[in-house]
């Protein structure tokens, strides 16, 4: 089946956004890039730092509530609808719930050609990137580095610890060209 959606899962500051941008350059067709950050940025202010929405703890922990989950479900279905309408999409995601998060996406993307990609990065390296970025809660990268991969199954994995985003993207693009 032709790949219509590439789901990149990795912790904060693991390199997913850079890989997504590189994929847009190396893949032969146009691909949209949508991230969990896009979704979070679109949330109403009242749901940010809220028990019902999303709360970023001072230690890097991220807790989401029922209203977040409701809107997230709509977001995921909307991304799937765009793919069904013909858009090729790279999803930059953080599976805080591990396998349960993947299952939410898997259900919505049923019937579509999906490539599941694990983006790994050593916690210490991701933490350094987090500090350099300056737009993340300190500790989030280290807390998520392994957590987001628990129980998740991938078609391909890349490790951005010591490999540039463009090389990770080329590895993924090779798999898109030859889905096996």
Q: Which residues are catalytic?
A: 37
Contacts of 30 (CB under 8 A, 6+ apart): 24, 88
Alpha-carbon gap, residue 9 to 118, rounded angstroms: 5
Which residues make beta-bridge pairs with 119?
158
Q: Which SS3 state, helix, strand or coil, does residue 35 take?
A: strand
Q: Which SS3 state, helix, strand or coil, does residue 150 take?
A: coil
Nearest alpha-carbon partner for 141 in 3, 26, 15: 15
Longest distance between any two alpha carbons in the chain, whole Å = 46
């Amino acid at each position: 089946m032709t790949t219509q959606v590439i789901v990149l899962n990795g912790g904060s500051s693991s390199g997913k956004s850079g890989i997504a941008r590189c994929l847009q350059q190396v893949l032969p067709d146009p691909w949209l890039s949508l991230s969990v950050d896009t979704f979070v940025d679109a949330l109403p202010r009242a749901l940010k730092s809220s028990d019902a929405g999303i709360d970023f703890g001072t230690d890097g922990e991220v807790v989401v509530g029922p209203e977040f989950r409701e809107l997230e479900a709509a977001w995921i279905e909307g991304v799937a609808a765009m793919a069904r309408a013909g858009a090729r999409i790279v999803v930059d995601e953080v599976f805080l719930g591990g396998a349960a998060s993947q299952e939410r996406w898997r259900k919505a993307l049923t019937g579509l050609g999906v490539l599941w990609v694990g983006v790994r990065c050593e916690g210490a390296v991701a933490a350094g990137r987090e500090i350099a970025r300056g737009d993340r809660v300190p500790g989030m990268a280290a807390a998520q580095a392994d957590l987001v991969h628990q129980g998740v199954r991938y078609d391909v994995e890349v490790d951005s610890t010591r490999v540039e985003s463009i090389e990770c993207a080329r590895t993924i693009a090779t798999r898109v060209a030859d889905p096996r």
